[in-house]
A = this chain, B = another copy of it.
């Protein structure tokens, strides 16, 4: 049988998306369900099964020979389980075994959602052509993933690149993860908005207190809004510089809602990066906005499977 497609799943706290993807990264069939995030684990799994069921119903399904899953984390690729923070019904949930059962035993590759986004940006987006890259999502949370030596570095459990929870302020504010001064605790959208409000910024007549509203105020010259983005940029710069210093990346790609703020974020970010990325071998580091859209998670999950297969072929497996 001719198998030239892979199935991809993108599992988040809001939606569960599925697709059949070809070797060029084109999405040929799609399915989607809202995530019943507050319900029990089996109910969440039924939503996943409905998505997969739609894909199986496609005449193209017989051409798919593997499944890639990008899931909200933490995940554990070594055990095939997931424990997404925003899906409390899934704790050490055996997602890989369940998906394998539903798909008639197809091989399943599990990675974290930050790693999936990274695979997509490396394959088709802003990190294309870069052998050493950090890709980030700066939004309600801060996630990420790494490409090292030209290949996705997912780590043994599929969580590598978790830059949102590295501490850049060891005496800083407590983070829900248990540590202090994490990048996410300073640079996420909600914290950009919180800091602006605490410093006296007030929303317009529409009452919008999102980070996007703070970004609009910053573009209009509001100094408190500008300062809140500068602080976020400083934390992102310290985290990106730390990553470059540890593993030698030459590009950092920033997506997510905060990543869309444009110059309000990128101008102070590039300035702060010069302050923290000081050693000779990290000074060439550039930082750019993400290019992939909302399909990044699906495309990346497919890329992870295809990349693993290419590695196996290269190793003669």
Contact = CB atoms under 8 A, between A and B. Distances in A.
B242 A159 contact: no
A159 B234 contact: no
A102 B261 CA distance: 55
Given A148-B153, A247-B155, A278-B179, A167 B131 contact: no
A243 B276 CA distance: 17
A234 B162 CA distance: 20
Contacts of A247: 146, 153, 155, 160-161, 246-247
B166 A281 contact: no
The listed residue with most B CB atoms (<10 A of its CB), out of A74, A76, A248, is: A248
Contact of A281 (B131, B155, B167): B155
Given A155-B248, A248-B157, A248-B159, A275 B242 contact: no
A165 to B, nearest CB: 6
Nearest to A274: B178
Contacts of A275: 178-180
Interface size class of A (residues with CB under 8 A): 35 or more
A127 interface: no
A245 B145 CA distance: 11
A153 B151 CA distance: 13
Given A148-B153, A155-B132, A241-B179, A166 B246 contact: yes
A238 interface: yes
Contacts of A156: 131-132, 248, 250
Count of chain copies: 2
A304 to B, nearest CB: 15
B281 A170 contact: no
A1 interface: no
Interface in A236-259: 238, 241-243, 245-248, 250
Interface in A89-141: 131-132
A198 interface: no
Contacts of A314: 315
A132 B243 CA distance: 16
A178 B132 CA distance: 24
A220 interface: no
B246 A281 contact: no
A95 to B, nearest CB: 15
Contacts of A235: 170
A83 to B, nearest CB: 7
A245 B177 CA distance: 12
A242 B167 contact: yes
A165 B245 contact: yes
A57 interface: no
Given A76-B280, A246-B247, 12 more contacts: A132-B155, A155-B248, A160-B247, A161-B246, A163-B245, A167-B168, A168-B170, A169-B169, A169-B170, A170-B234, A179-B275, A246-B246
Interface of A: 74, 76, 83, 131-132, 146, 148-149, 153, 155-157, 159-163, 165-171, 177-181, 234-235, 238, 241-243, 245-248, 250, 275-281, 314-316
